[in-house]
Amino acid sequence: MCLGIPGKVVRWLEREGAFAQAEVEFDGVRRIVHMACVTEAELGDYVVVHAGIAISRIDPIEAERIFETLAEWGEDEGWGAGPASDPEASP
């Protein structure tokens, strides 16, 4: 259930309260997303968006953890499956 896609906050329209809104970028498109539940996100942060509302701010440190584990196993090359249209796609 619950398709949730990570997108980057690129512009705040309304920062506070139950009707907070921001413009969020998903690769090559942007959409207005309701931000009531993630008002702490800063510009450039990634949020998980489900059915038009953001439900979580992605923690970039936690996001690296699996790759650190893999590095401990002796594999530490860059990860990222193509087509990498976002230059930031490979950490």
Partner 1 sequence: MKYLDEYRDPRAAQLLLDEIRRISSRCWTLMEVCGGQTHSLLRHGIAAELEGTVELIHGPGCPVCVTDQEAIDFACQLAQRDEIMLTSFGDMLRVPGSRGSLLDAKTVGAYVRIVYSPLDAVELARKHPDMQVVFFAVGFETTAPATALAVKQAGRDQLENFSMIVSHVRVQPAMEALVQAPDNRVQAFLAAGHVCTVMGYESYESFIEQYQLPVVVAGFEPLDLLEGILACVMQLETNEARLENRYARTVRSAGNQTAQDLVQEIYQICNRAWRGFGEISEGGLELRPEWQQFDARSRFTEPVLPVLGVDECRSFEVMSGHLKPPDCPHFGKRCTPELPLGAPMVSSEGACAAYFRYHGAMSRR
Partner 2 sequence: MQNKGEIESAAWQLNCPVSLPANADCVTLAHGEGGRLSRKLVQERILRVLKNEYLVALNDAAQLPAMVGPVALTTDSFVVSPLFFPGGDIGSLAVYGTVNDLAVSGAKPFWLTLSLIIEEGLPLVILDRILESIAQAAEETNVKIVAGDTKVVPRGAADGLFINSAGIGQLITPIPSGPATLQENDELIVSGPIGRHGIAVLAVREELGLEPVPLSDCGSLIRPVERLREELGDQIRCLRDATRGGVAAVLHEWAEACELTLSIHERSIPISPDVRGACELLGLDPLHVANEGTMVVAVKQGAADAALKVLHSLSETADACLIGSVTPRGIAPVTVRRTLGCEQPLDDPLGSPLPRIC
59 scored as a contact of partner 1 (CB under 8 A)? yes
- State in Å, rounded, how far the first CA of the chain is from the last one: 28
Which residue number, 15 or 80, has a Cβ lying nearer to partner 1?
80
All residues at 6 or more sequence positions from 34 whose CB lies less than 8 Å from its CB, including other chains = 19, 20, 21, 52, 53, 54
- With CB under 8 A as the contact rule, the residue among 12, 14, 30, 53 that binds partner 1 is 53
The option from partner 1, partner 2, none interacting with 76 (CB < 5 to 8 A, set by class) reads none
22 scored as a contact of partner 1 (CB under 8 A)? no
Which residue number, 24 or 61, has a Cβ lying nearer to partner 2?
24
Contact between 17 and 7 (Cβ < 8 Å): no
All residues at 6 or more sequence positions from 41 whose CB lies less than 8 Å from its CB, including other chains = 9, 22, 35, 47, 54, 57
Q: Residues in the site for partner 2, rule: CB under 8 A?
A: 1-3, 5, 7, 23, 25-32, 49-51, 81-83, 85-86
